[in-house]
Amino acid sequence: MARIQVIDPKTATGKTRQLLDAVQAQLGATPNFIRVLANSPQALQGFLGLYGALGEASIDKATQERIALAIAEGNGCQYCVSAHTAIGRHAGLPNDEMVLNRQGRSRDAKAAATVAFAQALNANLGEITGAEFAAARSAGLSDAEIVEVIAVVAINIFTNILGKATRVEIDFPKVELLCEAVSVAA
C-alpha cells in the first residue's frame, strides 16, 4: 500500500493541475509515480524538466531505457523495472535485450559499455575507477554522452528511491525483479 497520497489529476488545482495535464497530454496517461510526485509541484516540475531535457540528449531513448532498467534492477525497484520494461518496449527494445540490460549487459557493444558504466556509477555513487571511465571512453562515449549517462543515472536513482520509499502501486504490467533486494523494510 502506498505511503503517500496519490493525487487525482481531476481534483488537482493550480500548478499541480497544469503539470499533470501536461503529462496526460504527452503520455495519454498519468502514471501513479507521477501522481505521487505531484504532492510537491516543485519536485514534479524539476523531474519533468530534467526528463524533458534528456529527451533531446545524444544518448538515444533506447539506451536511456537500457540504463533505467539496469539502475532499477540494481536498486531493487520493482515499480521502475515494470515501468521501464513497458517504456523500453515502446522504444523498440526486445524482451531478451531488456533482461540483459537489467543484468548490466547488452547485445550491442556500445550499449553494453554504456550500461556497465551506468551500473558502476550507481553501485559506487559516482566514485568510479579510472578503468571504468576508460572503458566508457574506449567504447566511444563523448564527454557529452558521459555527462548524459550520469544525468540518466541520477534521475533514475531519484525515481527508484521515490518508488521504493513511497511504495507506489505498480500501474504497469508487473515485472518481477531478477533477484530479491538485499533488504526490505517493513
97-123, pLDDT tens digit by residue?
A: 999 999 999 999 999 999 999 999 999
pLDDT digits (tens, 9 = 90+) for 46-86: 999 999 999 999 999 999 999 999 999 999 999 999 999 99
From residue 50, give the alpha-carbon distance in Å to each of 63, 100, 155.
16, 26, 8
pLDDT at 169 > cutoff 80: yes
Number of neighbouring beta carbons within 10 Å of residue 28:
7
pLDDT digits (tens, 9 = 90+) for 17-45: 999 999 999 889 999 999 999 999 999 99
Q: Work out the average pLDDT over 154-169.
A: 97
Confidence of residue 2 (pLDDT cuts 50, 70, 90): confident
Per-residue pLDDT, 167: 97
**CA distance linking residue 182 with residue 93, whole number of Å:** 28
Q: Which stretches does DSSP call E strand in 26-120? A: none
pTM given for the model: 0.93
Confidence of residue 179 (pLDDT cuts 50, 70, 90): confident
Per-residue pLDDT, 186: 42
